[in-house]
Amino acid sequence: MSAGVAERRQSARSGLIGLAGAAVSGLFGFLLAVVVARGFGPAGSGAIFTAIGLLTVAGAVCCLGADTGLVWALPRRPSRPAGLLTVALAPALTAALVAAVTGWTVADDLARVLLPEAGDGTRLVTVATVAVPAVVVMTILLAAVRATRPIGSYAAVQFALLPIGRPVLVGAVALTAGGVVLAMAGWVLPVLLAIVVCLFLLRRPLGLAAGGALRPAAGDWPAFWSYALPRAGSAAIDQGSMWVGVLLTAALATQADAGVFGGVGRYVLAGQLALQGLRVAIAPQLSRLLGAGRAAEAAAVHRQTTVLAIALSWPVYLLLGLFAPAFLGLFGGEFVAGTAAMTVLAVAMLVNVGLGTVQTVLLMSGRSRAHLLATTAGLCCTLAAGFWWIPAGGVTGAAAAWATGIVVENVLAAVAARRVIGAAVLSGAAVRTAAVTAAGVGLAGAIAILLAGRGTAGLFLALGLLAAAVAVALTRRGVRDLIRRQVALVRPQPQQAGGPVTPAPDNQGEVA
């Protein structure tokens, strides 16, 4: 087996686990959105989403890019890896403690700006800001797990423990009429458990169980932070992309509008989970390949992952755009006001998914400054358009602003990623997959809308037509052969006579 085929097999196996985790996370993330929307209504959910947004953005800023820095650095570090954890944690935790104290001090002022309609606004802001250090520690430890252990360990925490724990705890608060402050505390509590689990998972790969030294090696500080610091800004933008819209809508429109936008955003982010799961799975592999100068193999992994992302996510976004009233109606009748917003964002996300893992390619190649440029340009477009469109357009204006930022950021990242891999970021297979998916889902959706409208009946009719089309496609031998080839990528292969080529290890933290 050639080294290139071995790398594609590894990315396929890791991607399968990442996708399974993303599916679980998406299901329970959606359940959380339903619990918040139905348990607390548009105004209450707007307050909770605003507090979550504040915590998410503050946590991402205070990480200072250290989480991505660990995913980039640990696969390239075969010895004394524990020292990098000290390098990553010390400045980030210091920044988080400063943010927590500052937020606690100015909680009243923040509440007046972000939550003027919420009676518990000050206490909500306090809970969000005091939780920043815990979120930062968890994020950095999770990055170390992602870089040093098989993808299943990371998925168990990020895609199972956190998304399952949150709707359970927040739902319990809603059932007992506990209020928005307790609901926010329920959202934060699983973070503490995740920290304990991550520490346990890292004992062996970082050598902590054998007394591995946490003292950094000479040169670790400048080497690590020269990469991580440019990532600090782009990480905050990435993590807080939706939440910036929620905060802007809360400040420039109404709390109810912020709640509706938060509900729309949950659907948009859920559709992205397949791509996110694939990015998580292949990032350490891309770092290792690009660090070894194997750009062609990294490009092959990126292209294969992009085709899979399009096949899995484009149908979701096309259906979200076509049948937005049916999906938003699950949150309650008031949320249907976000129909136009979800349609606009669904179109923008087709661009995001269609370009695949270009941002991961940039980051794992060490081009964190180029990624910062792309994300900053996208944020500037979002903010400028938001200040212009949200006061008059409300939820739809916020969606149009975010959509503009999404497209600008991804196009710029794709241009930079092409320079990294020295080839086009899109393959013919990706273009064909996008065309077939758009035609098939678009035709089924158009027929369903004509016959049953954009509500629940139309959605189920479209799903029935698509299921019938898939069943017919499976009768074709060419389709079945294609599926067999893809399945073969994730199956262990028997060793060939004459000695096999050893594939990259499943432990993503080891260096080939």
Residue 102 half-sphere exposure toward CB, CA atoms < 13 A: 10
Residue 153 half-sphere exposure toward CB, CA atoms < 13 A: 23
Nearest to 130 by CA among 65, 199, 235, 54: 54
Burial of residue 497 (number of CB atoms within 10 Å: 0-12, 13-18, 19+):
exposed
Burial of residue 489 (number of CB atoms within 10 Å: 0-12, 13-18, 19+):
middle
Supply angle C-alpha 366, 371, 377, rounded to 5.
165
Chain position carrying tokens 């973070």: 191
CA distance 19 to 223: 32
Chain position carrying tokens 């899979």: 308
**Is-contact 506 7, C-beta < 8 A?**
no
Element (H, E) at 374: helix 368-421
pLDDT in tens, the chain (512 residues): 555 555 555 555 655 666 677 778 878 888 998 999 999 988 899 899 999 989 988 998 899 989 988 988 888 776 677 889 999 999 999 999 999 999 999 999 999 988 887 778 999 999 999 999 999 999 999 999 988 888 789 889 998 999 999 999 999 999 998 899 999 999 999 999 999 999 999 988 887 766 556 778 778 899 899 888 876 777 677 766 777 888 888 888 888 898 899 889 888 888 887 787 777 777 777 878 887 888 888 888 888 888 888 998 999 999 999 999 999 998 888 899 999 999 999 999 999 999 988 888 888 888 878 888 898 899 999 999 999 999 999 999 999 999 999 999 999 999 998 888 888 888 888 999 999 999 999 999 999 999 999 999 999 999 999 999 888 888 887 766 766 665 554 444 444 433 333 333 333 333 22
Torsion of CA 416, 420, 425, 429, to 10 degrees: -170
Q: How many residues are there in the chain?
A: 512
| pLDDT at position 443 | 96
Burial of residue 454 (number of CB atoms within 10 Å: 0-12, 13-18, 19+):
buried
Contacts of 65 (CB under 8 A, 6+ apart): 227, 228, 229, 230, 231, 232, 233, 234, 235, 368
CA distance 119 to 248: 20
CA distance 64 to 230: 8
118: left (phi over 0), alpha (psi -120 to 50) or beta: beta
Contacts of 273 (CB under 8 A, 6+ apart): 22, 23, 25, 26, 29
Buried b (16+ CB within 10 A) or exposed e, 317-355: bbbbbbbbbbbbbebbebbbbbbbbbbbbbebbbbbbbb
184 token code pair? 């926010």
CA distance 235 to 347: 23
DSSP string of 155-212? Answer: HHIIIIIHHHHHHHHHHHHHHTT--HHHHHHHHHHHHHHHHHHHHHHHTTTTTTTTT-
Q: Calculate the CA 428 to chain-centre distance.
A: 26
Element (H, E) at 453: none
**Is-contact 397 240, C-beta < 8 A?**
no
3-state helix vs strand vs coil in the chain, percent to 5: 80, 0, 20
Chain position carrying tokens 């006579």: 497
Per residue, the 3-state secondary structure of 74-89, as one string, reads HHHCCCCCHHHHHHHH
| pLDDT at position 18 | 61
